[in-house]
Structures are given as structure tokens and as C-alpha cells.
Amino acid sequence: MKKDKFSTFQNPLSKRKEQINISDSLISENTKQSEIEKNKIIQKFGNISNITSNLINLIDFDNKEFINRIYNSVDELKNDELNDLIESIKEIGLINSVYLIEKDNLKNNKKFIIVSGLRRLLAIKSLIEAGETIREINRVIIFSKDTPVDVLNKISIDENTKRKDLTMLELSYKLRKDSKIKKIPIEQLMSEHNLNRRKFFRITKIMDYPKELQEIVDEIGVNKAETINKILKINKYNEDIRDIISRCQIMTERELNDYYKKVAKKEKKTIDIKINNKNTQAVIKINKKITPEIKQLLKEFNEKIENL
């Protein structure tokens, strides 16, 4: 019997499917392990309780120690998304738990601050203020006063990541705050947020972007946002920021990179001088063919510098 020449052929799509299944399995295993670790933390430091109007009244909503959203007042968070959450909780209750920690010396006789679940707690507070009866069973974990800060940070990061509570701008704010104010080592933050060094610094730079670009980072992605910001720096005096962003955000990453190279080349200076932060070294780059006349000028310039 003649052997079918395709009998040993392996479908690449089938192989890809196997890889996806393995990847999904690993993600599921990691999630499971994360839940096990979190449950151990809760057993050691926390108590599971019910959410009542009395509890809500004892929360200091103005304390932002573990909150990484960018806002001046909680009133700024009262928008359509919060209204949707209010309606959801009103209809089906609170699905995901919230996390608090007991604290001493809080203002206005408050007893707790929020570790994770700001929007959910604001939604419940709004329902209570509207006269709704709230009693969510076993939906709040209250950590004891002696819970280590690194444990609380771990819970906050884990929950915010799973619930997608942080925008890229808010993550940028958090990473900067943790690094510069809390003095947490960059390597530790990279590990906690599963970021490589390049992406870490890309994200922290978002805080410096124009507001018009910050608003769409989640929509277009960090890589495209970084390239658009480079283009804005070159074009900022020639064209309106919104016009540039509008044109660039619909490009693919490849098209955007090609466009940036074109713009950067057009704006290339004849002479580029870079001086280090300590003013101890300067690099002069001449982007032009070096003619005998230029060589002579450089020689004279060098002699003048040596005689200073």
C-alpha cells in the first residue's frame, strides 16, 4: 500500500491551538496560585464581614494611601460608569469583595481606609444615601492594624489588576508615587506588575504626556502613545496637538514609526549639541558633509577651547 505523503503532516493551526491551551492552563494555574496566597493572607491578617450602612459611615473616603486613581475629590468619580455600577449592585448585589484596613487617629472619628474597591464602595455609599437598604453578606475583608504595608500593597495591586480598576495614566501615577515617594525599588515594582524595564519607563512617562494624549493611551496602547508623543515634541509649534493625535492614532504601529522617521529626518538639525547634567562633557554632532572649510573651523574651535 502506497504511503500517503501527507500522513505525517502536522497542522500548524492544531499546534498553535495546543500552545494556546497550554498558555491558558498556565494562566489559570497562576491565577489559582494567586488566590491561594491571597486566602492565606486573609486568614492571617483579615476578617470577613458584612457591608452595612454603619460600616460605610466609618470609612474615610478621603484617605488615598492605597488608592492609585488620579482625582482631587471623590465627586470627580461620580460619572456614568459609577451609575452603571450602582444599578448593577442594586439589581444583583456586590459580586466582588472589597478590602479595608483598620486605622487609628483618622479624622472625623473614622475607623477604616480603603485598600481596594473604591468605586464599589462609592456605589454602595450612593445607594445608602438614596435610602436603599444595604447588607452585603461576607463581602468585605477588614485587615488588622498590624498588617504589613507590603502585604496590603500586594492585595491592592492584585485586585486592581483583576478588576481592571487602573487606567494606564493611573498606573503611571502609582508607579511614580511608589518609586519616588515610597522609595520602593524599581526592580520590585517591575516584578509586582509583571513589567520589563523598557515598559516600566514607558508607562511612567505617560504622566508627562499632553492631556490630549493621556486621554487615549488605553485605547491606542503604550507603544503608539510613546511614538505619538515623540512626534508631538517635533511638531508642537507647527500644528494643533489634537490634529496630530487624530491623524496619528488611526495609523498602524509600522505606519506610525515610518511617519515619525520621516518627521524626525525633516527636523534634523545641522548641529546637535548635547551637554551632560554635570556640565562636565559636551558632544557636538555635525549632520553635514565635512568640507575642508568645516575642518578648519573645527580646528580653530578646538584651539580656542584648549586656551580657555
pLDDT band at 19 (very low <50, low <70, confident <90, very high): very low
- DSSP lists the bridge partners of residue 261 as none
- The answer to whether 115 and 23 are in contact (CB under 8 A) is no
pLDDT in tens, 247-269: 999 999 899 999 998 888 765 56
Domain boundaries, the chain: 37-164, 167-208
d(CA 271, CA 287): 6
* Three-state secondary structure call for residue 272: strand
- The answer to whether 83 and 100 are in contact (CB under 8 A) is no
The mean pLDDT of the chain is 80
Lowest mean pLDDT among 12-21, 70-79, 105-114, 189-198: 12-21
pTM beyond 0.75: the answer is no
Res 30: pLDDT: 56
pLDDT in tens, 115-165: 988 989 999 999 999 998 877 788 899 999 999 988 888 888 777 655 555
**What's 42-102 look like in SS3?**
HHHHEEEEEEEHHHHHCECCCCCCCCCCCCCCHHHHCCHHHHHHHHHHHHHCCCCCEEEEE
- The answer to whether 108 and 60 are in contact (CB under 8 A) is yes
The CATH architecture to which 37-164 belongs is Alpha-Beta Complex (3.90)
Torsion sign over Cα 119, 135, 98, 24: negative
